[in-house]
Amino acid sequence: MGGVTAPRNTEPQGPRHCQPFAISFKNHDVLLEVGAGLTNQHDIDIRAGFLGPKLFDGQLIPGPAGAIRYEVPRLPTGEYYFHCSVHPFMNGTLVFADQ
């Protein structure tokens, strides 16, 4: 009499992670007057929450024709805060969900 053996669970234990991914970042910002602390350089930093530790530190890119491909490492699934380090009001939420 035959039987079926379920494959062993080879999933790593602990939090699930997203795959590493890339962000193609192009800075088209044209700043007509540079002064009084104004700049048209921008970047993307990813943090574990608004005041959380920085998990990814993107290089500053000048406008109006700068570009870079950020290579972001795998991170645990969840919600993250991202922002421009020069202009903190440029921000948003990044969600890595289980699929």
Q: Given the complex with Cu ion, which of 17 and 87 has the nearer CB atom?
A: 87
Nearer to Cu ion, 66 or 78 (CB): 66
Q: Which of 31, 30, 60, 62 is nearest to 45 (CA)?
A: 60
- Least Å distance, CB 86 to Cu ion, is 4
Q: Which is nearer to Cu ion, 77 or 85 (CB)?
A: 85
**Binding to Cu ion in span 37-96, by CB under 5 A:** 42, 84, 86-87, 90
Residue position matching structure tokens 């990044």: 94
Q: How far is the CB of 29 from Cu ion (least distance, A)?
A: 8
Q: What is the DSSP letter of 53?
A: P
Nearest Cα to 23, choosing from 51, 54, 53, 56?
A: 56
Residues that bind Cu ion in the complex, under the rule CB under 5 A: 42, 84, 86-87, 90
